[in-house]
Amino acid sequence: MAIMSLLGFLTSHEEYTFKEGYTKHIVALIHVNFIIFMQVILNKLTPGMLRANFWARSLQQIVA
């Protein structure tokens, strides 16, 4: 959702020249920061919580 909001903001301004390289860089930074944030969240969960929660297990597979 944050990516869509950012892209909408960047493309809504007429004075802004939309550059593909800049957008790719921003999206890559958001992606990396999201993965780091998810790793921090997963590290806070106990092993029992990881086994019991489907979303945590799925997220752990994606981040790993």
Residues 28-35: what's their mean pLDDT? Answer: 88
For 1-31, write each residue's pLDDT tens digit.
Answer: 566 666 666 666 655 555 667 777 888 888 8
Residues 33-51: what's their mean pLDDT? Answer: 89
Range of the domain at 48: 2-63
What is the rounded distance in angstroms from the CA atom of residue 60 to the CA atom of residue 23?
Answer: 27
Greater confidence (64 vs 59) lies with 59
* pLDDT of 44 strictly over 60: yes
* pLDDT of 64 strictly over 70: yes
Number of domains in the chain: 1
Q: What is the pTM of this model?
A: 0.59
Could you tell me if 60 and 46 are in contact, meaning their C-beta atoms sit under 8 angstroms apart?
A: no
DSSP state for residue 45 in the 8-state scheme? S
